[in-house]
Amino acid sequence: MFLLAKNVLMKAYITCLTPSNCYFCEMFLALKKSFLVRYSLILLVVSCGPLWKDQTGGEPIARVGESFLYKEDVTPFITKEMTKADSTAFITNYINKWASKQLLLSKSKINLSEEKLAEFDALVSDYKTDLYTRAYKEALIRQGSDTVIGQSQLEQFYENEKENFKLKERLIKLRFIELPIQFLNKEIVISKLKSFQSDDIRYLDSIGVQFKKLHFNDSIWVSAPRVLEEIPPLTLENQNRYLKKSQFFELQDSLGVYLAKIMGVLEVNDIAPLSYIEPSIKQVLLNRRKLDYIRQLETEIIDEAIKEKEFEVYAQDN
């Protein structure tokens, strides 16, 4: 075996004694010292006349037993950005990994029992079938399934399932500003944030670039942990003191001054508002619609196959 590999290497080298070796020949010569080349593989130079081909007519660059690795298998991974040394190293590594897998596969087929091999073959077949059918179903769903959920559907589902939407964490509605430590006119900002009329909002927007953070949409529910994350002086220990409806607070640490007006609070086990869980409800309804569509599709496929005499079930003797 070792002598054969050596002879092949010599023949490959002789066939390329041209003014400049081709790319794969240079790569091949660089691989001659590889462990797998010396002891496990017969590598073949293909770009300047292969020494031999497999039965499919392809041009292999490596072989393990009856399995072949082809130039076209490796070429797509070679990018223009790679230097010759980079691509040579990459191909070396690719071939060795491929060979290792093939050799392990070959050994496993020899050493595993027939029952185990049959079990794995069945699993592979099932997995392949699942991949194909799942991809086909997803394509049909994208083409034929309606993905629009109306507001009335959302509201009806919410009303019917309301008891299942109890909160597991507090929700807060607030408007909030973080100021730099040395910010001037803090008292004006506090007054405007509390009043929050149209003129106040325009003023705050006009100087918003001076704020470190701001959140003016006080109609949106935000989880309490997120509020604590944005306002570091708030903690699990003191949150009940500050996170109360209609409460205004000013806190400070070494990073900034935090001003907030609390507009609403929902406690754990309160019913979640529709606006907060609407995305989740929409996803549930879409998943149900998807399952219904798949069931209908499977039924139609079977009915059509029976009609076209492509599917039949044979009677079984008792």
Report the percentage of the chain scoring pLDDT > 90.
Answer: 61
Which of 8-12, 171-175, 238-242, 292-296 shows the lowest per-residue confidence on average (mean pLDDT)?
A: 8-12
**pLDDT for 149-182, tens place per residue?**
899 999 999 999 999 999 999 999 999 999 999 8
Domain locations in the chain?
2-111, 167-266
pLDDT beyond 80 at 266: yes
How far apart CA 174 and CA 193 sit, in angstroms, is 11
**pLDDT for 88-130, tens place per residue?**
999 999 999 999 999 999 899 899 999 999 999 999 999 999 9
> How far is residue 167 from each of residues 163, 271, 296, measured CA to CA in Å?
10, 6, 35
The CATH number assigned to the domain with range 167-266 reads: 3.10.50
**pLDDT for 36-80, tens place per residue?**
444 444 444 333 334 444 455 667 889 998 889 998 898 899 998
